[in-house]
Structure 1
Amino acid sequence: MARVLKALHWIKISLWNLATIPAPFIKRSGESKLRHYYSLEFAKQALTEIKNGTSTPEILEYILTSGVVLDAASRGVFEIVDLCLKYFPELMWDTNFAKKLIIKVVEGRHIELFRLVNENYPIRYLAEDNYMDFDLMEAVTKWSSRCVSPDVSGAAFLMQRELQWFQAVEFRGFFSSKWQTYIENKKSYWEKFVEQREGLLKDAGQWMKDTSSSCSLVATLIITVAFAATFTVLGGNDGSKGIPIFLNKGSFMVFVVANALALFSSVTATLMFLAILTSRYASEDFLYSLPRKMILGLTFLFLSLAFMLVAFGSALMIVLSERLKWIYIPITLLAAIPIILFAILQLPLYVEMVGSTFRPHLYRPLKLWK
């Protein structure tokens, strides 16, 4: 049995080495994950030994004074903070440490850490200390290169993320920071927040304008084609009654319904993009208003493209079905290619926008004990 296990282990290693020869990045990725796994296991063992071999007050004093957890929180190392809070939940009993930890997390814009810490020590408790309120609001108001998160693509999403951070701190702290003023320059936190992000706001507005202009052009072309097809009846009309000749064919009904849906969807998409182009592009609009309009516009644009291709395919089937009975198979396959291509190209942007607008990670609860 031992020989069999040894042989299987040797085969597994050989196959892994063989697979990593043509693609070295696979080996580097595997080694990185392996180092991360063993580092986490080492941290668990170290904390277990420390907890069993040292008195709790001494180790708590060391953690509080050394700044290990605060440094890990500042760098966004979720695992270290999570392990320390699991092994030593007494850390959060120290009010000053808890408030400093939250401020470090907010300064670094670490979402998972924010969810973790806020679940164990809600931000609303900061209302007991006005000075900490000011420190927290300064942290969320300040703009720096650390605010640029790698998981956010584009200025519009980054502006939305910053607004979500501001809203999370403002709402959960139970104070209206828009009306609280700095003692020095007499500006509210909201005014300071907007002032420090003028460049980001300009880039986000330009992205919205460019995207809406490009999409509205496509939607307008679909409107033109669908509107013209409505009054140009396929196959002509009966000379005596004016009834379409292909009215009794199922393909003709598919053509009519798909063309009508394409027209309605493209008109709706154009209206959504027009609403974006005529927006005032205020800072708060990037939180819900503009993203929702963009989501609706992209949704109806995709539907209009799909319905237009269905109408085109059904029209070809009507014309060629008498000669080629099997023509619906290649038409269906060819019509699916543009739809799939559009979905592949636009789906990541669409999914990111929907998730960031309707279910942002920043507002999702995270339990400390798993």
Structure 2
Amino acid sequence: MGYEPLRKALQSGDWNSAKKFLELHPDSKSATITTLGKTALHLSVEAGHVHIVEALVEQMSEDDLEVQDNFGDTALLETTYSGQHKMAECMLRKNKKLVTMGRGRGDESRMLLPVVLALANGHIKMARYLYSLTPLEDLFPEKGRSGSTLCTQAIYTRALDIALDLIRRCPRLVLAPDKDNISPFYALASKKYAFPSGHSLVFWKRWISSCIHIQSANGTTTDEFHLIIQKDEGRQSDAVKTSRSSDQEGRAKGNVYLAIFRSIKEGAFEFVHDVVKANPDLVWSYDGNFRNIFFYAVLCRQAKIFSLIFGVDVKNNMVYDTDNSDNNILHMAGMPPVSVMLNRIPGAALQMQRELQWFKEVESIVHPKVKEAENNDEMTPRELFTKNHKDLMKEGETWMKDTSTSCTVVAALILTIMFAAAFTVPGGNNQDTGLPIFFNKKLFKLFIISDALSLFSSASSVLMFLGILTSRYAEEDFFKSLPTKMIIGLSTLFFSIATMMIAFSAGLLLMLCEESWMVIPVISLASIPVTLFVLMQFPLLVDMYISTYGPGIFDRKMEQWL
């Protein structure tokens, strides 16, 4: 039997023609009318014609709605790809069993339910609707991987309400592997947005962050966790708690160890702190290279997480560990970081400074013999640091010289202008006395003082930048010497620009005292250079000052927590 007229009518949205065909051939409602096993309903969903879908569903039986194509998809599953919410609603009003019919035939453990596919395709509103109709028992780990996959997808897509409700109702899902063998526990650890440390909060506006508590429930083969989100009047705090368990196999299958190291790399301080606090034995977790959590924190340059070491009793034992290549914790500080933390620091010179700070901070807490210990490549930590930071040091030198050259030009220009302005004062000089005509006016005193301050500060700025250009650029210079010179150079340059504008405004007021209506707009324009400097260079100056003279990288006053 030829279904070409029906296919054309359905794809074009011509319900009248399709209706006539179906009246002549009633069996066509549930027949497969394409080589891929698609029914009239499948085609209508794919074409996106809601009115035709509603009309077809009204004429079809419940069994007709359960017909699957060659891929194992029902028409409801087709709606999850495009997010056609109204189509799904009309089908489920007639047959609620469709929510339990997932994609795939044969291996039910690998079958994914419609709610999972809707969320995986980014249709969160539709997923919430399907989740409200999906029986909980069909999401249990014993029934396959739909439940765990739904939970991980909910975490990835930030639909935490679904993940929360599901884990509350079935705690066993926390460590259950999803379709990609990833547990919800690991998915949570890899998403820093779920924790306060993952948000850059503005002082006048704070986003509500997710609050995730993982608590334990005794199980027979694996650790069980409860995912709890608590709200505190618009603000939430994170805490993650786990049970003490000797089930190493269950932890491995649930990606517990992988999750801890992933959370360290992501900088999820709350996750690491509370998971280890609730499970003290997890402090002895190791990665594939036999690096403990504090070794890995140094390697990832996660200062807040490494600071936890100051609050544990076994600090000394952990500091003197070595990995598979006989690298100690100071070797970790000499290696290139494996996270993107260093890229968040502006400028190669500041990055080099931060690397030196890390090395010196770690060096200060280890025994002297650790400093001279060699790894399998017969390299001490300092030798390893020098080898791995040669390129960064060259980039830092280039950055310093380029910045200094540019600023020197500006400072020298201001110096020249201010020197000339000091001897060509506004209004000229009195022919009899040689003194400036406006000598006794307060504005003239402001002008001459501002001019002098601008002159002296620009001269100081030039000297500082020349000092940077002629430096030797050794490793130690990046620690404090070069940043200090840059701070002084930028500060005096900023001061010289500001005082130059004050001198200009004062001189203008002296000359145009009878035309005051011209003064205000001109003085307003004079503030533009100062504003531009603040916007472009002041953040760098602040970052450099904090990095050089601010508190140390680590929180050595960490309270005892383990």
* TM-score bracket for this pair, using the shorter chain length: 0.7 to 0.9
The answer on whether the counterparts of 1:124 and 1:173 sit within 8 Å (CA) in structure 2 is no
Alignment correspondent of 1:285: 477
Higher mean displacement: 349-358 or 255-264: 349-358
Alignment correspondent of 2:408: 216
Provide the identity percentage.
Answer: 35
Alignment correspondent of 1:158: 351
Q: Is 1:340 aligned with 2:531?
A: yes
Measure, in 1, the Cα distance between the counterparts of 2:538 and 2:335. 33
The answer on whether the counterparts of 2:217 and 2:225 sit within 8 Å (CA) in structure 1 is yes
Measure, in 2, the Cα distance between the counterparts of 1:297 and 1:51. 55
Q: CA deviation at 1:186?
A: 5.0
Q: CA deviation at 1:150?
A: 3.6
| 1:352 maps to amino acid | D
Give the alignment partner of residue 235 of structure 1, picking from 422, 427, 441. 427
- RCO higher in structure (CA 8 A, sep ≥6): 1
Q: CA deviation at 1:268?
A: 1.0
Alignment correspondent of 1:247: 439
Q: CA deviation at 1:59?
A: 6.8
Matches within 5 A, 1:20-35: 35=160
Measure, in 2, the Cα distance between the counterparts of 1:334 and 1:165. 44
The answer on whether the counterparts of 2:309 and 2:315 sit within 8 Å (CA) in structure 1 is no
Q: Is 1:138 aligned with 2:331?
A: yes
Measure, in 2, the Cα distance between the counterparts of 1:185 and 1:56. 39
Matches within 5 A, 1:1-370: 35=160, 43-47=212-216, 50=224, 56-58=244-246, 67=257, 68-89=259-280, 91-92=282-283, 100-115=292-307, 117-121=308-312, 125-126=316-317, 129=320, 131=322, 134-143=327-336, 146=339, 149-175=342-368, 180-182=372-374, 186-321=378-513, 323-359=514-550, 362-365=553-556
Structure 1, unaligned stretches of length 5 or more? Answer: 1-30
- CA gap of 1:33–1:282, structure 2 versus 1, over 3 A, is farther
The answer on whether the counterparts of 2:419 and 2:455 sit within 8 Å (CA) in structure 1 is yes
| 1:350 maps to amino acid | L
Measure, in 1, the Cα distance between the counterparts of 2:369 and 2:347. 29
Aligned residues: 335
What's the secondary structure of 1:167's corresponding residue?
helix
Measure, in 2, the Cα distance between the counterparts of 1:142 and 1:77. 22
Q: CA deviation at 1:194?
A: 0.9
Alignment correspondent of 2:12: none
- CA gap of 1:122–1:176, structure 2 versus 1, over 3 A, is farther
Measure, in 1, the Cα distance between the counterparts of 2:479 and 2:560. 28
The answer on whether the counterparts of 1:220 and 1:270 sit within 8 Å (CA) in structure 2 is yes
Measure, in 2, the Cα distance between the counterparts of 1:332 and 1:176. 64
Measure, in 2, the Cα distance between the counterparts of 1:150 and 1:311. 40
Measure, in 2, the Cα distance between the counterparts of 1:58 and 1:124. 23
Q: CA deviation at 1:280?
A: 0.6
Q: CA deviation at 1:177?
A: 5.7
Q: CA deviation at 1:47?
A: 4.5
Measure, in 2, the Cα distance between the counterparts of 1:147 and 1:368. 29
Measure, in 1, the Cα distance between the counterparts of 2:393 and 2:517. 55
Structure 2, unaligned stretches of length 5 or more? Answer: 1-155, 165-187, 189-193, 195-209, 219-223, 227-240
What's the secondary structure of 1:146's corresponding residue?
coil
- The two structures have a TM-score, normalised by structure 1, of 0.77
Alignment correspondent of 1:6: none
Structure 1 segments of 4 or more deviating over 6 A? Answer: 31-34, 51-55, 59-62, 95-99
What's the secondary structure of 1:348's corresponding residue?
helix
Measure, in 1, the Cα distance between the counterparts of 2:400 and 2:497. 21
Measure, in 1, the Cα distance between the counterparts of 2:531 and 2:211. 46
The answer on whether the counterparts of 1:317 and 1:327 sit within 8 Å (CA) in structure 2 is no
- CA gap of 1:320–1:43, structure 2 versus 1, over 3 A, is closer
- CA gap of 1:163–1:128, structure 2 versus 1, over 3 A, is closer
Measure, in 2, the Cα distance between the counterparts of 1:299 and 1:123. 45
Task: Tell me which protein shows more helix as a share of its residues.
Answer: 1
| 1:295 maps to amino acid | I
CA RMSD of aligned residues (A): 3.6
What's the secondary structure of 1:149's corresponding residue?
helix
Measure, in 2, the Cα distance between the counterparts of 1:144 and 1:246. 62
Measure, in 2, the Cα distance between the counterparts of 1:46 and 1:163. 40
